Amino acid sequence: MLVLSGLLVVVLGFAFRVNPLLVVTVAGLVTGLTGGLGFLKTLATLGHAFTESRYVAIVWLVLPVIGLLERAGLKERAREVVTGMQRATAGRVLLAYLALRQVTAALGLVSLGGHPQMVRPLIAPMAEGAAERDVHDIDDATRHLVRAHAAAADNIGVFFGEDIFIAIGSILLIKGVMEQAGIIVLPTRLALWAIPTAIAAFVVHGARLLLLDRRLAARNTRAA
């Protein structure tokens, strides 16, 4: 049971809002030490996992670039661009991103978007800028509503779009589970049947994004 103490470190670290990287590192050290690996062996295991994982290296390369762009005024510039486009409402901006995210995910480009590299520095400020133009004296609740819809557009777009790409992990997982049950199915068939679901998800969430504009307009009317 002591090996599970690493999970306790993660829970406590996130509960007290400690730096996530520090929390995960300490949790890994605690897990390794309680598991009997020893300090040097634990460090070696963590280092090996770091160097073998391409995605960890990519994150370390992307995050500083995003930080520099934000410091240079990326979010403010995104707001200015959308504010100058009179027909670009918050719902329409997010609807366009939903379509882009779903199409690119269907082509296997699941890393093209994402919360840290796309939604937070670019998409959410653009939608928020459109809302600021259309809603007088916008409050924090409305800002958080727009940001939540921006995050949802990314999640739904990639979740229902990636299954159309036959070489994605979810398709291979479904294929493996079905083969264990004695059902042989080709990945192309699974991807084909994912298309109607993706279209339905786009229609449903697209309607929610357009309803967001109506909610913002209603708040603007009440404020007036």
Q: Is 215 helix (H, G, I), strand (E, B) or coil?
A: helix
- The fraction of the chain above a pLDDT of 90, given in percent, is 23
Residue 20 shares a structural domain with residue 116: no
Instruction: Tell me how far apart the alpha carbons of residues 200 and 11 are, in angstroms, rounded to a whole number.
Output: 37
Of the ranges 47-56, 84-93, 197-206, which is most confident? 197-206
Is position 148 within any domain?
A: yes
98 and 152 in a common domain: yes
Q: Is residue 62 part of a domain?
A: no
- In a shared domain, residues 29 and 134: no
Please indicate, yes or no, if residue 69 is contained in any of the structural domains. Answer: no
In a shared domain, residues 94 and 198: yes
Residues 19 and 113 in one domain: no
Does residue 43 sit in the same domain as residue 89? no
Residue 66 falls inside a structural domain: no
3, 24 Cβ separation under 8 angstroms = no
What is the Cα–Cα distance from 197 to 174, expressed in whole angstroms? Answer: 15
Query: How many domains does the structure of the chain reveal?
Result: 2
116 burial class (0-12, 13-18, 19+ CB within 10 angstroms)?
A: exposed
Q: Mark whether 20 and 104 lie in a shared domain.
A: no
Instruction: Clarify whether residues 217 and 108 are in a common domain.
Output: yes
Q: How far is CA 129 from CA 16, 86, 220, in A?
A: 32, 11, 15
Residue 101 and residue 136 in one domain: yes
Express each pLDDT in 57-98 by its tens digit.
555 555 566 666 666 666 677 667 676 777 889 999 999 999
Instruction: State which of 36-45, 69-78, 102-111, 195-204 shows the largest mean pLDDT.
Output: 195-204
Q: Is pLDDT above 80 for 197?
A: yes
**63 is a domain residue:** no
What domain range includes position 185?
74-223
145 and 34: one domain? no
Question: Any idea which residue has 């192309």 for tokens?
Answer: 188
Q: Residue 118 to residues 7, 114, 151, 220: CA-CA distances in angstroms?
A: 30, 5, 10, 28
Do 159 and 100 share a domain, yes or no?
yes
19 plus 90 within the same structural domain: no
* Residue 163 within a domain: yes
Dihedral, CA of residue 64, residue 14, residue 149 and residue 100, to nearest 10: 40
String of DSSP letters for 2-43: GGGHHHHHHHHHHHTT--HHHHHHHHHHHHHHHTT--HHHHH
In a domain, 151, yes or no: yes
What DSSP line would sit under 37-69, residue for residue?
Answer: --HHHHHHHHHHHHHH-HHHHHHHHHHHHHHHH
